[in-house]
């Protein structure tokens, strides 16, 4: 079982009945699940990652008001859960430096995206890093009778204004063109191999961001971005040429891989063979919100 499956099985086997028996008044007011930092919250954990953060457990989230009423009782009940499940031993318990146990929904969002509410202002969206949104909406909610987690998770996942997404995407595409189409061959012509490789790395970084934006999925922390490509609804084919770029290669091989990624993205955007720099300018010009449109073409917001 991966971490999400282990957490849900543990909750269904022990947690659900324990909560109903010990704090019945909280039933119907709590959210239960696994989400936040860690590969297991993305479903990316494997045998190697089980040397940390792989243990039976789940999170119980409450509103601030209900935390005052039921938080202590739920925490006490949680501490009575078995310390081993499905052959996996518990390393810690609530109150012992673990993300599992009892906390508030507001606290979860404050710690992940830095705010408790979904932004209504486009400029506020520009200030939230993509990886922070990914952490706030990953994992799985097993129950949320009062909607204290689900509504906000859906808002952060799907609520980004179209003009903000367009600005972010235009910026990334413009930076792809600058790094891959312009600076990489230019640095090679100067004989500066180190700068050329840095240009390739910058191209890959911005291309990954563009792919996730096109796919409409929040981009995770850098070490999971390639793994996450395989789960996207589109542009999964960019995984191979982007991987090839980081592996290194001569000028012809590198330019071919860059062209392959460029073509995949422009095709998905129905932009035909439009050069990236021109495509970015056209996208930027299409933005309707004046404040967003007045941002620099290459401004993509918080990293």
pLDDT (0 to 100) of residue 87:
85
Q: Would you kindly state where each structural domain of the chain is located, as residue ranges?
A: 3-121+134-158, 162-293
Mean pLDDT over 225-250 rounds to: 97
User: Whole-angstrom Cα distance, residue 37 to residue 48?
Assistant: 17
> What share of the chain in percent tops pLDDT 70?
95
Looking up tokens 């012809």 gives 252
The dihedral through the CA atoms of 13, 2, 234, 131 has a sign that is: positive
User: Whole-angstrom Cα distance, residue 113 to residue 156?
Assistant: 9
pLDDT (0 to 100) of residue 289:
98
pTM above 0.85, yes or no: yes
pLDDT (0 to 100) of residue 71:
97
> Could you read off the pLDDT of 19-51 as tens digits, one per residue?
999 999 999 999 999 999 888 999 998 777 665
Q: Are strands 59-62 and 31-34 parallel, antiparallel or unpaired?
A: antiparallel
pLDDT (0 to 100) of residue 92:
58
Mean pLDDT over 219-240 rounds to: 96
How high is the mean pLDDT of the chain? 94
> Could you read off the pLDDT of 59-69 as tens digits, one per residue?
999 999 999 99
pLDDT (0 to 100) of residue 227:
95
* The pLDDT of residue 129 is above 90: yes
pLDDT (0 to 100) of residue 54:
72
> Could you read off the pLDDT of 81-102 as tens digits, one per residue?
998 898 888 765 544 445 799 9
Rg of the chain (C-alpha set): 22
- Both tokens of residue 249? 């290669």
**Count of C-beta atoms within a 10 Å radius of residue 173:** 31
* The pLDDT of residue 184 is above 50: yes
Q: What Cα–Cα distance (Å) separates residue 201 from each residue in 172, 228, 242, 258, 269?
A: 13, 18, 10, 11, 23
* The pLDDT of residue 173 is above 70: yes
pLDDT (0 to 100) of residue 55:
83
> Could you read off the pLDDT of 245-261 as tens digits, one per residue?
999 999 999 999 999 99
């Amino acid at each position: 079982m991966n971490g999400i499956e282990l957490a849900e099985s543990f909750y269904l086997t022990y947690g659900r009945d324990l909560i109903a028996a010990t704090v019945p008044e909280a039933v119907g007011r709590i959210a239960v699940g696994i989400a936040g930092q860690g590969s297991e919250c993305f479903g990316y954990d494997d045998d190697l990652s089980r040397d940390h953060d792989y243990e039976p457990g789940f999170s119980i989230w409450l509103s601030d008001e209900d935390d005052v009423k039921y938080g202590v009782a739920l925490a006490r009940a949680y501490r009575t859960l078995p310390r081993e499940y499905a052959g996996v031993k518990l390393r810690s318990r609530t109150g012992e430096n673990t993300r599992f146990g009892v906390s508030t929904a507001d606290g979860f969002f404050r710690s992940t995206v830095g705010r408790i509410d979904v932004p209504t202002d486009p400029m506020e969206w520009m200030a939230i890093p993509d990886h922070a949104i990914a952490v706030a909406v990953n994992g799985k909610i097993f129950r949320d009778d009062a909607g204290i987690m689900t509504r906000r998770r859906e808002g952060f996942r799907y609520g980004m204004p179209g003009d903000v997404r367009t600005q972010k995407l235009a910026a990334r595409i413009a930076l792809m063109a600058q790094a891959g189409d312009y600076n990489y061959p230019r640095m090679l012509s100067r004989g500066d191999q180190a700068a050329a490789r840095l240009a390739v790395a910058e191209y890959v970084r911005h291309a990954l961001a563009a792919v996730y934006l096109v796919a409409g999925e929040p981009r995770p922390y850098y070490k999971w971005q390639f793994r996450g490509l395989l789960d996207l609804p589109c542009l999964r084919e960019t995984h191979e040429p982007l991987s090839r770029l980081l592996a290194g290669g001569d000028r012809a091989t590198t330019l071919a891989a860059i062209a392959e990624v460029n073509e995949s993205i422009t095709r998905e955007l129905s932009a035909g063979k439009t050069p990236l720099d021109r495509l970015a300018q056209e996208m930027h010009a299409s933005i309707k919100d004046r404040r967003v449109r007045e941002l620099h073409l290459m401004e993509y917001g918080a990293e």
